[in-house]
């Protein structure tokens, strides 16, 4: 898996990794709530503080994958991960700025 060097593969990994990070965050910080209740709370909270914090922390999964692929010299996959990280980051920045 760490030797596959395709931009599209990196995009897919970059889309999936933050979701895994979000799941881990939910399981550690909101363990007594259902996933649906957790999402409802994050989407309806004033200022979206928990949502943006959760999304920011979930990007650590992308940073980890990016570092692994860069160190393995699998550059096309790393570029795909980097692009999705930028898109997620921009989305988080927009939420923090305008809401």
Task: Give the mean pLDDT of the chain.
Answer: 90
Q: Does residue 2 belong to any structural domain of this protein?
A: no
Q: What is the pLDDT of residue 34?
A: 92
CB 84 within 8 A of CB 62: yes
Q: Does residue 92 belong to any structural domain of this protein?
A: yes
Query: Domain count of the chain?
Result: 1
Question: Percent of the chain at pLDDT above 90?
Answer: 58
SS3 assignment, position 15: helix
Tell me the per-residue pLDDT of 35-74, one tens digit each, with 9 for 90 and over: 999 989 988 988 888 888 888 888 899 999 999 999 999 9
Q: Does residue 1 belong to any structural domain of this protein?
A: no
**Does residue 14 have a pLDDT over 80?**
yes
How far is CA 68 from each of CA 3, 15, 21, 72, 98, rounded to the nearest angstrom?
A: 10, 16, 16, 6, 34
Which domain, by its residues, includes 41?
Answer: 7-98
Q: Does residue 41 belong to any structural domain of this protein?
A: yes
């Amino acid at each position: 898996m760490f030797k596959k060097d395709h931009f599209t593969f990196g995009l897919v990994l970059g889309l999936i990794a933050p979701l895994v990070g979000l799941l881990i965050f939910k399981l550690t910080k909101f363990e007594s709530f259902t996933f649906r209740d957790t999402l409802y709370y994050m989407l309806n909270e004033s200022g979206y503080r928990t949502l943006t914090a959760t999304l920011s922390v979930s990007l650590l999964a992308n940073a980890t994958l990016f570092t692994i692929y860069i160190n393995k010299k699998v550059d096309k996959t790393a570029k795909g991960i980097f692009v999705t990280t930028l898109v997620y980051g921009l989305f988080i920045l927009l939420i923090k700025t305008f809401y």
